[in-house]
Amino acid sequence: MSRRVVTLAHYYTEPHIQQMADKVGDSLELSLYAKECEADTIVFAGVRFMAETAKILNPQAEVILPDRGSTCSLVTQTDVTALKAWRESYPDHVHVSYINSSAEHKALSDWIVTSRNVDDIIAHLYAEGKKVIFSPDRNMGAYLNFQYDYDMPLWSAVCEVHDKFNQAALDEAFAAIKGDKYLIAHPESPLPVLQKADYVGSTSGMLNWIKAYDQAPDAVIFVATEDGILYNMRKARPDMKIEQAPIYAGCQCNQCPYMKLNTQQAVERAQAGEGIRIDYLSEAQMDAARLPIERMLDFSR
């Protein structure tokens, strides 16, 4: 019997890679799909923490990452030994970690969140009277503290792509447009950028905002996130003026070097069984990391 190979792709991969996938989505959608799909092999055209999450949620499946280099700066900027000491210095706090983290990091967490459910999960914890620490994304944590008047101690790592969005460059781009303009942004962006945004949310959230847009037809919509998803946005709404937000005046390029390692050749090789097998996590590591992820999935159902 032939092996069932399922290919997943994040919105930040190139359009032709998304076209090779059975499912394209944000971190939450891809995690759920990985857990529930009946696959012998999952090829994850994304980055390593996503492939590790897929393996943790579907340990029966073989999970292959097309390229060894597909990491994430939120992972590489977090030393897990230092994180453990930080977590232990807040013994009466709940530790909420963003899904952009290693399996070891997840195992030191009480809850995992994605950019889609982070607002609701932290609101739920505060409503229960809990004290919360948040890792690893400093920008996302700063935004939550600002937006909801929380006082969460924050770990300090950033997304090297979103951290480049810049308020002064946006002011300049806005000033150059006479008519209506909007900014939608991913919460990994710096706080001054998020404070200017008309909408802040996950990749799917921003895409849904674009699909539902019904304001001035000539408005320019600036998008502060990785450029892969502009393909999905322009395809959904060819009538709209959708622009990459600038990172500095004159430069509109913002690409994740790790997502872009998912080339056609690498994905085809992975579909044929070659690539980085996520087979190095022990049962104990996977069990410890699964607990806070399942807590999130139960909450989000």
Residue ranges that bind ligand SF4, judged by CB under 6 A: 47, 72-74, 100, 159-162, 188, 226, 256, 258-259
Quote the least distance from Cβ 187 to ligand 13P, whole Å: 8
Among positions 205-234, residues that touch ligand 13P (CB under 6 A) are: none
Query: CB-wise, 186 or 196, nearer to ligand 13P?
Result: 186
Please give the helix or strand (H or E) that residue 63 lies within, else none. strand 62-65
Out of ligand 13P, ligand SF4, none, what residue 135 binds, judged by CB under 5 to 8 A for its kind, is: none
Out of ligand SF4, ligand 13P, none, what residue 258 binds, judged by CB under 5 to 8 A for its kind, is: ligand SF4
Out of ligand 13P, ligand SF4, none, what residue 26 binds, judged by CB under 5 to 8 A for its kind, is: ligand 13P
Q: Is 202 in the site for ligand 13P (CB under 6 A)?
A: yes
Query: CB-wise, 36 or 287, nearer to ligand 13P?
Result: 36
Quote the least distance from Cβ 77 to ligand 13P, whole Å: 14
Burial of 293 (0-12, 13-18, 19+ CB in 10 A): buried
C-beta separation of 219 from 205 below 8 A: no
d(CA 301, CA 296): 9
Q: Is 26 in the site for ligand 13P (CB under 6 A)?
A: yes
Q: Give backbone dihedrals phi and psi of 3, rounded to 5 degrees, phi first.
A: -80, 140
Query: CB-wise, 162 or 290, nearer to ligand SF4?
Result: 162
Quote the least distance from Cβ 91 to ligand 13P, whole Å: 30
Secondary structure string (H, E, C) spanning 156-186: CECCCCHHHCCHHHHHHHHHCCCCCEEEEEC
Q: Is 101 in the site for ligand 13P (CB under 6 A)?
A: no
d(CA 107, CA 287): 8
Return the residue matching tokens 């394209």.
24
Structure tokens at 175: 């000033």
Residue of the chain from 52, 67, 137, 188 that contacts ligand 13P (CB under 6 A): 188
DSSP, residue by residue, 1-32: ----EEEEEETTS-HHHHTT-SEEE-HHHHHH
Out of ligand 13P, ligand SF4, none, what residue 140 binds, judged by CB under 5 to 8 A for its kind, is: none
Out of ligand 13P, ligand SF4, none, what residue 114 binds, judged by CB under 5 to 8 A for its kind, is: ligand 13P
Query: CB-wise, 58 or 254, nearer to ligand 13P?
Result: 254
Closest to 6 measured CA to CA, from 41, 56, 58, 32: 41
C-beta separation of 278 from 47 below 8 A: no
> Which letter does DSSP use for residue 132 in this model?
E
Residue 168: CB atoms within 10 A of its CB come to 11
In angstroms and rounded to an integer, the radius of gyration of the C-alpha atoms of the chain is 19
Number of residues that bind ligand 13P (CB under 6 A): 10
Out of ligand SF4, ligand 13P, none, what residue 27 binds, judged by CB under 5 to 8 A for its kind, is: ligand 13P
Q: Is 102 in the site for ligand 13P (CB under 6 A)?
A: no
**Footprint of ligand 13P (CB under 6 A):** 26-27, 100, 114-115, 159, 186, 188, 202-203
